[in-house]
Amino acid sequence: MHPDHAPDPADSAVYAAREADWRCGAVIYQVLVDRFAPSADLAAKAHLYPAPKQLMAWSDTPRNGRYLDDARLWSQEIQFWGGDLASTARRLDHVRSLGADVLYLNPIHLAYTNHKYDALDYLQLSPEFGTMDDFRALADATHAHGMKLVLDGVFNHMGRNSPKFRSAEADAASPYRAWFNVGPEFPGGARSWWLAENLPELNLENPAVRDHVYGATDSAVRQWLRAGADGWRLDVAVDIGFRYLAELTAAAHAEKPGSLVVGEIANYPAEWFPHVDAVMHFTLRHILLKLASGQLDGATAMRMIHRMTDDCGIDHMLRSWIYLDNHDTPRLATTLPDAAQRRLAQVLQFTLPGAPNLYYGSEVGMAGGDDPEMRAPMRWDLVDAGHPELDWTRRLIALHQGQRALKVGHLRAITSHRLIGFERHTDRVADTVLVIANPTDETVTETVMTGNSRLMNPFHLLDLLGTAPGPLRVECGMVALTLPPKGVVVLQPEVRPAGGYSSYKRVP
């Protein structure tokens, strides 16, 4: 390449910094510890599930139960399948074989229920999951596999059975009375999250509470990072608010520079940055599911995505988690039972700016409706049988991991009418990836405009996913193509054609 046409050093530095940041474009694998892998010796830990808790068979499917007035929770919340940290560690080879960069665990701190969103003590590990030695062993094994470990922090509320709340509830003179909002004006006697009486909210306005959660050296946020975690996903982060999220994020970064704080924020995300490093992409999930199911047209969806990227900033988008299902939503195979719709959404999940978040079992097409069905135990029999969805998932992850632009590149919309298209690009034209999809139920023939001045005529575009209907090429910045209903192609310029001649010789 002629030195006059070398990449701009400033641009190169931007992309190099993103590549050095493990949070950008990472592939996240989410695990409910109780449901991910069977314990090696369940009989030895059966005493950890005393009545009214129930220990279920791995083949059992979670079902709706009944409300337990005394406990103020639902019976399905205290049904357990017995997974633990040691059994999770034994299955890390599977997680890594998919190509994941990050293991994300739903809450593991001491709590009464199976989901652990009702903390009894943030500083203790729930004994059903093992010991702190087991946690450190899992963290070490995760790091040895080249992955990071992210924990779930539930810092807006605790559990009704927590000693701190019991003290506050029973004694007006308790030092913990000011940790909660206690009073007869609240259902159940205390302000609780969304009126769930088992989840009394913390009074984060109290400095002592903030110190316990994140401010002090011995706080929960800091201690778990020192113990081996690399970041936090914050439950109902939107309820924590801008100020306290900013303080928590600063505390995490001070304890472990480069750590990740990602917020569960269902709102439009733009103004929540930089109070958190990243968000779970609720807005983007809605766009993708509506697009795939025909409720949103391609041009409108692309305008929404591009505006959100402009409003949020590309770096925040690159760190944010793109999810299609998780422990709070029906599984993707249930939400989009049509395979073509589902695959369109998945391709976009792995090619738009962000960190794709894969919920355990989705790689083998596990189905499941509303809570608690989507929290069924992992189907290892489908993994062992080589389920076709497993191969598809691995292809998508390999595509994402193998393309620099998909991990750290900018976003540029491709101008189209009925299709949706976008380009991911870096400082190097060879990195460019074009994604074009047909969200309609009809075959569409269309000419789209890339808007990329560096794409040269008339060389072929490489078909990265094996879904192109035939040879495609760029002509004057435009691509003519025909896509079947729900069809999607992922393309890249052929900068080094087999014949040896390339118009890219002086284009960086």
Read off the pLDDT of each residue in 426-450 and give the average, rounded to a whole number: 97
| Euclidean distance between CA atoms 180 and 193, whole angstroms | 12
Residues in the chain: 508
The class level of CATH for 410-506 reads: mainly beta
The mean of the pLDDT values for the chain is 95
pLDDT at position 330 over 70: yes
User: What residues contact 484, with CB distance under 8 A and at least 6 apart?
Assistant: 438, 443, 469
Could you tell me if 332 and 285 are in contact, meaning their C-beta atoms sit under 8 angstroms apart? no
Q: Are 444 and 483 in contact (CB under 8 A)?
A: yes
pLDDT at 3 over 50: no
Is 6's pLDDT higher than 70? no
pLDDT of the residue at 9: 62
Query: Which two tokens mark 466?
Result: 């094996």
Rounded to 5°, angle at Cα 318 from 322 and 93: 65
pLDDT score of 7: 52
Q: Where would I find the H helices in 325-481?
A: 332-335, 339-351, 380-384, 388-402, 404-408
Q: Degrees (nearest 5) of the Cα angle 198, 200, 206?
A: 165
- The pLDDT assigned to 11 comes to 86
Asked if residues 394 and 350 have their Cβ atoms less than 8 Å apart, the reply is no
Run of H or E including 41: none
Determine the average pLDDT of the residues in 58-62.
Answer: 95
Lowest mean pLDDT among 252-261, 288-297, 490-499: 490-499
Beta-carbon count within 10 A of 211 CB: 14
- Contacts for 269 with CB less than 8 Å, ≥ 6 apart: 279, 281, 282, 283, 308, 312, 316, 320
Q: Look at residues 110, 135, 107, 134 and name the one whose alpha carbon lies nearest to residue 120.
A: 110
- DSSP β-bridge partners for residue 190: 182
pLDDT tens-digit profile of 354-398? Answer: 999 999 999 999 999 999 999 999 999 999 988 999 999 999 999
User: What is the DSSP track for 125-180?
Assistant: E-GGG--HHHHHHHHHHHHHTT-EEEEEE--SB--TTSHHHHHHHH-TT-TTGGGB
331 and 362 in contact (C-beta within 8 Å)? yes
**Residues 257, 184: Cα–Cα separation, whole Å:** 44
Domain ranges of the chain: 23-407, 410-506
Per residue in 178-235, pLDDT tens? 999 999 999 999 999 999 999 999 999 999 999 999 999 999 999 999 999 999 999 9
pLDDT of residue 5: 39
**Region of 203 on the Ramachandran plot (φ > 0 left; ψ -120 to 50 alpha; else beta):** beta
DSSP assigned state of 415: B
Q: How far is 341 from 345, CA to CA, in rounded Å? A: 6
Residue 409 has a CB neighbour count (10 Å cut-off) of: 24
The pLDDT confidence band at residue 8, using thresholds 50, 70 and 90, is low
Separation of alpha carbons 491 and 435, rounded Å: 6
pTM to 2 decimal places? 0.96
Q: Which CATH number fits domain 23-407: 3.20.20.80, 3.40.718.10, 3.30.365.10, 2.60.120.10?
A: 3.20.20.80
Residue 68, helix vs strand vs coil: strand
Rg (Cα) of the chain, in Å, rounded? 24
Cα dist from 46 to 127, 318, 380, whole Å: 11, 43, 22
**pLDDT for 65-92, tens place per residue?**
999 988 889 999 999 999 999 999 999 9
CB-facing half-sphere around the CA of 294: CA atoms within 13 A: 9
Cα–Cα distance, 103 to 26 (Å, whole number): 10
**Structure tokens belonging to residue 5:** 């046409």
pLDDT (mean) for 12-35 = 97
pLDDT mean over 28-53: 96
Following DSSP, what letter does each residue of 263-310 receive, concatenated? E---S-SGGGTTTSSEEB-HHHHHHHHHHHTTSS-HHHHHHHHHHHHH
| Amino acid (one-letter) located at 461 | L
pLDDT tens sequence across 146-160: 999 999 999 999 999
Q: What is the rounded CA–CA span in Å between residue 109 and residue 235? A: 13
**pLDDT at residue 227, rounded to an integer:** 98
Handedness of CA 169, 172, 173, 175 (dihedral sign): positive
Pairing type for strands 278-279 and 260-263 reads parallel
Amino acid 289: pLDDT: 98
Q: What is the pLDDT of residue 508?
A: 82
Q: What percent of the chain shows pLDDT beyond 70?
A: 98
Which tokens is 362 given? 């989705």
Q: Are 68 and 75 in contact (CB under 8 A)?
A: yes
List the one residue out of 271, 288, 390, 268 whose CA is nearest residue 336. 288
